[in-house]
Amino acid sequence: MADLAQRQERVLALAAPGQRRRAAKGAGCQDGGVEILSNRILLRPADLGRSRHFYRDALGLAVYREFGSPGDPGVVFFLGSGFLEVSGHSAGTAGHTVMIWLQVRDVNAEHERLAAAGARILREPVTEPWGLTEMWIEDPDGIQIVLVEVPADHPLRRDPRSSPAT
């Protein structure tokens, strides 16, 4: 345990002054950056049914979960150690149909941290009708990144295995 504390002190001693301050506050990760709890790639296709068929039936990705309208659901597929969400619709160019989804502990704290760091914020944190709190940023090449906080009472936090059988 003492070794770990000594290594952390050495890392903090080598960090830039601003990083040392953030790390000392305990925001985000040990190094002061964002702490990612979960992630996924978001695909907003021109034709949801066609893309859902391709990823599920042609490519053969396993389904993690479906959501939304039973007749035309969004689907989250297992993608190795991550996930691919195919949902919604995009009439835009192909470069704007792929996004990155990052689950964080505290989206409001990340908003403050990213705004102070000069990140391009497309949309401030908003609680969506589906219960997640989301904010949107953009990387230097225009890739949209969705930072998401899952509230404690949201179904994504419930373990269906612990529910009594019906």
Q: Residue 148 has what pLDDT?
A: 93
As a whole number of angstroms, the distance between CA 110 and CA 155 comes to 23
pTM, whole model, 2 decimals? Answer: 0.58
Read off the pLDDT band of 58 (50, 70, 90). Answer: confident
Segment holding 127, helix H or strand E: strand 120-127
Rounded Cα gap, residues 74 and 87, in angstroms: 4
3-state secondary structure of 136: strand
pLDDT single digits (tens) 113-161: 899 988 999 999 999 998 999 999 988 768 788 999 999 888 887 766 6
Give me the count of residues in the chain. 166
- Give tens-digit pLDDT for 148-162: 999 988 888 776 666
